[in-house]
Amino acid sequence: MASSSGYRALQWNAGSGGLPVNETTFAKVLCQQGYTTGLIGKWHQGMNCDALNDHCHHPLNHGFDYFYGMPFTLLNNCQKNKPPELDAALQAKLWLYTQIIVFAVLTLTIGKITGLISTSWKIVAWIALAGSLFFISWYSSYGFVQYWNCILMRNYDITEQPMKLERTTALILEEAVSFIERNKHGPFLLLVSFLHVHTPLFTMEKFLGKSTHGLYGDNVEEMDWLVGKILDVVDREGLENNTFTYFASDHGGQLEAQEGKAQLGGWNGIYKGGKGMGGWEGGIRVPGIVRWPGVLPADTVIDEPTSLMDIYPTVAHLGGGIVPQDRIVDGQNLLPLLQGKVQQSEHEFMFHYCGSYLHAARWHQKDSGALWKAHYVTPIFHPEGAGACYGRGICPCSGDGVTHHDPPLLFDLSRDPSEAKPLSPGTEPLFDTVISRIERAVEEHRQTLTPVPQQLSLYNIMWKPWLQPCCGTFPFCWCDKEGDSAHPAL
């Protein structure tokens, strides 16, 4: 769901945007092959289109037989006493405008009472009414984010509204374990989309202070423990030799996520940039860890460019299905590379977007081993040279917050993985040849693109009260169906 606006993700459970109904997920492909499919954890691909409970974007409408988790994503707003994260800059402006209106009304009222201002009481009343309506119009959404967005669901039913973070980890683990145990006698697909490691980094007490890298490290330790617990169940049930496990992250660390001097968004090592930056390695180079005893060789490192988009054709192949033939599928089946049957990735070119804007492209020149990368657009770091957009909270994709490069910045990642020294015709004899080849590939790639409805348009992302999932009678949305019982998975 790429966007050309300033919003790159859904903002509300009560928005109308989401994963289009005509998309074919790998869950749907495997479901057609007789697999039982489940999603535990975060969805954040939308809920409803036109009416409450039409569930057009819901996981169960996209090939999953079972869903338990957050239909949205974790936010600071989900934890009390944390600064707001959702549209924080806009909220600050709305508060300012509200305060200006209140000050104006108070000034007019005092002036009228003291006789310093000759305006009528009717005008004062109308301004006060307009101000009240303005406040209600935005505070009814942003003032209750914890209730509107921070919920847990089981299939179509809300189980917690708002969710209780202190027990969410236990519930996610319990659900993942239960799904494996219920479906161990037949083929299954389980996607565990962790809420880790995302602000507010809520961590169980047993892991607080365990890491030497602060709260972020503690949260990573907790996630590592969760992964181990799930794999323990796979092994205990004797499923390890016929279970393909893939672990990855959806992006690099968010450098701008800070609280005082504490870094809450991770660290990207030698790689420049981070989350939200369309081209720099720090935002797109993530770990990919695979396990399949007896099929894939253990203790092997594959230093080849692959993509999260490769999960789709790989999973479809393993399940005996095929990817849709009526569209371009950018991913490649990873199995030959993972098994050592081939030594190089099938990806010759990769294209890196920020929203709907192409920021960079890479060329794996297999005959020479070079890994060229051309940056057409890069974010302007703030403060200058800081390595991230601390002044903005996250780097923009377009507008006055980016720099366009013509010719593009060129790096050879095989020699300069940190992207520290851009090449030039004077330092790289093949500069013009490489740029020409990459630009030809970009043009060919663009010819394959097809316009689609904007799921992240302003209308689609705005809060719509009539689409708000509610456990109760709107606006009195509250429930706790999980109770405070102990959770034996821990």
Q: What ranges in 285-405 are assigned the alpha helix state H?
A: 311-318, 335-338
How do residues 116-171 score in pLDDT, each as one tens digit? Answer: 888 899 999 999 999 999 999 999 999 999 999 999 999 999 999 999 999 999 99
How do residues 171-214 score in pLDDT, each as one tens digit? Answer: 999 999 999 999 999 999 999 999 999 889 999 999 999 999 99
Asked if 98 and 134 touch (Cβ cutoff 8 Å), the reply is: yes
User: What average pLDDT does this structure show over 72-79?
Assistant: 92
| Average pLDDT score over the chain | 93
| pLDDT for the residue numbered 383 | 87
How do residues 51-68 score in pLDDT, each as one tens digit? Answer: 999 999 999 999 999 999
Q: Report the distance separating Cα 119 and Cα 109, nearest Å.
A: 9
pTM: 0.92
Residue 269 corresponds to which tokens in the numbers above? 């090592």
| pLDDT for the residue numbered 138 | 92
Asked if 468 and 52 touch (Cβ cutoff 8 Å), the reply is: yes
Q: Report the distance separating Cα 351 and Cα 448, nearest Å.
A: 13
pLDDT > 90? residue 227: yes
DSSP per residue, 398-429: SGGGEEEEEEEEEEETTT-TT--S-B-TTT-T
H/E stretch holding 129 reads: helix 121-142
| pLDDT for the residue numbered 89 | 81
Q: Report the distance separating Cα 419 and Cα 282, nearest Å.
A: 10
Q: Report the distance separating Cα 202 and Cα 392, nearest Å.
A: 24
DSSP per residue, 146-181: HHHT--EEETTEEEEES--HHHHHHHHHHHHHHHHH
| pLDDT for the residue numbered 485 | 52
Residue 206 corresponds to which tokens in the numbers above? 């047993």
Asked if 256 and 387 touch (Cβ cutoff 8 Å), the reply is: no
Residue predicted with more confidence, 382 or 437: 437
Q: Report the distance separating Cα 99 and Cα 442, nearest Å.
A: 49
- State the pLDDT confidence band at 487, using cuts at 50, 70 and 90: low
User: What average pLDDT does this structure show over 303-327?
Assistant: 95
| pLDDT for the residue numbered 225 | 97
